[in-house]
Amino acid sequence: MTDLEAPPRRAAPALLGYAAVRALGLVVLAVWSAARGKSAHTLLTARWDALWYTRVADLGYGYEVRLPNGDVHSNLAFFPLLPWLERFMHAISPLSYADGGLVVSLLASLAAAWGIFAVAEHVYGGRAGVCAVLLWAVLPVGVVQSMAYSESLFTALAAWSLYAVLTGRWVTAGVLALSAGLTRPVGLAVVAAVWAAGIASFAASADSGATADSGAAAGTSSVTSFGRDRGAARAPGAQKWRCALGMALAPLGAAGYILWVGHRTGKGPLGYLDVQAGWRNGFDGGAAFARFVGEKFTSFPSALAGVGLIAGVALVLWLYVVGVRQRQPLPLLVYTGVVTALALCASSYFGSKPRLLMPAFPLLFPLALALARLRTSRSAWVVGGVAVASAVYGAFWLNGTGPP
C-alpha cells in the first residue's frame, strides 16, 4: 500500500473527532444566536471579511469604502482564490455566493484537519496526529474554521504542501504553495518553507554525492533529508528537477497577485502595500501591538487583559521554542516562524491576532505529544472539556461587535 493510500483510513478517527467538535460549536452558536435574536447563518456567512469575499465573487475587484478619517478600504486587499471558488459554487449550484463560501470553508476545514493529521502522523505517529487535529479543532477561535473565511482553505493548502515537501512530492508542494499564495498574504510562509526545504535538499544531495564519490564501494546512500518516502526510488537527477520545478512554482501565486494589484493601482510592485496601508495594516516588527498591550495597564480591569495578552504571546513563543528543541523538520519550523512573525508583528486589527495564528498548526505539536501520552479516557475528558469551553467562547465571540 502506498503512502497516499494509507492516510484516509488512518485519519478517520481524527476526522470524526474534528467533525464532532465543529458540530458542537455550530449547535452552541445556533442556540446562543437564537437566544439573542440573531441568525447563526448570517454570522457565519455575512459579517466582516466574509462580506468582502462575497463582493469580490459577485462584482469583481474595484470596490472600496472611504472612511471619514480618510482611510480607503479596498477589496484588492483580499486574495482571489476563495472568491473564485465561491463564484464556481454559485455557477454549478443554486447556492448564493455567501453559501458557496460557507460550503467551501466547511469542506476545506475537513481537508485541513486531514492535512494536519498527515503531517503530525508523518513526524510523530498516528496518536499524536489525532491529538493535533483535535487541538486545532478546539482552539478558542475555532469557530472561524466554519465561517466563510479563508483560514480553513489556506490551512488545508499549507498543510498538504508541507506534507508533500516532507514526502518528496516537490511539484505537488509547489502547486499547493502557489494556491496558498492566491489565498492569503501569509501564503509567503508556505513559499518560504518549500524554498528552505529545497535548498536543504540540494545541500544534502551535494554532501551525500561527495560522500558517495569517496565511499562508493561501501554502498553509501544518496537519499536526502527530505523526500525519503519517494526520493530514494527516483534517479537523483529527476528528483533534483522536480525539486527545482516545485521551488519555481511555489511563489507564482502570491507574486502574481501582488504584481497584478501593483499594475491595477498604477503603483508598481509595492502597490499592494499601499492597499494594506489604506486598512492601516502593515508590518512594524510588533511595535504597535506592544503599545496596544501597554495601554491595557492604564486601569485595573483592562490590566487583566494585558496580562492575558502577554501570557498568550509567551505561550506561542514557548511552543515554538519547544518545537525547535524537539527537532521539528525544517519546513515546519520555517512555516510556523513566518506565520507567527506576520501575525504578531502586524500593525493593526489586534483582536484578529488569534485568528491569524490559527494556520500555525505546528505550534500545537508539542501539546499534541503531551496529550498523546495520557490514557485515552483522560485525554478524551481533557479534549471534551476544552471543546465545550471553545464552543461557548466561539458563540459569545461571534455574537459580539468586534471582527474575529
The answer to whether the beta carbons of residues 8 and 111 sit under 8 Å apart is no
- Nearest of 332, 314, 393, 309 to residue 140 by alpha carbon: 393
Helix (H, G, I), strand (E, B) or coil at 73: strand
Q: How far apart are the first and last CA of the chain?
A: 43
Mean pLDDT, each 10-residue run in order, the chain (404 residues) = 57 96 97 95 93 95 91 94 98 96 97 97 95 97 95 98 96 98 97 96 73 41 44 60 96 97 91 91 85 83 87 95 96 98 86 92 97 93 96 93 66
For residue 66, CA distances in Å to 56, 70, 71 come to: 17, 6, 6
- Spatial separation of the C-alpha atoms in residues 38 and 47, rounded to whole Å: 12
Helix (H, G, I), strand (E, B) or coil at 65: strand
Query: What pLDDT, on a 0 to 100 scale, did the predictor assign at position 361?
Result: 98
Query: What pLDDT, on a 0 to 100 scale, did the predictor assign at position 298?
Result: 83
Q: Mapped to the 3 state alphabet, what secondary structure does 79-107 carry?
A: CCHHHHHHHHHHHHCCCCHHHHHHHHHHH
Residue type, 200: A
- Spatial separation of the C-alpha atoms in residues 257 and 184, rounded to whole Å: 10
**What global pTM score does this model have?**
0.92
The answer to whether the beta carbons of residues 317 and 334 sit under 8 Å apart is no
Query: What pLDDT, on a 0 to 100 scale, did the predictor assign at position 375?
Result: 92
- Angle, alpha carbons 38-43-44 (nearest 5°): 140
- Nearest of 192, 130, 188, 191 to residue 368 by alpha carbon: 130
The answer to whether the beta carbons of residues 254 and 182 sit under 8 Å apart is yes
- DSSP-derived letter for residue 143 is G
Q: Residue 273 is placed in which grid cell?
A: 502595500
- Angle, alpha carbons 129-311-397 (nearest 5°): 75
- DSSP-derived letter for residue 297 is G
Query: What pLDDT, on a 0 to 100 scale, did the predictor assign at position 296?
Result: 82
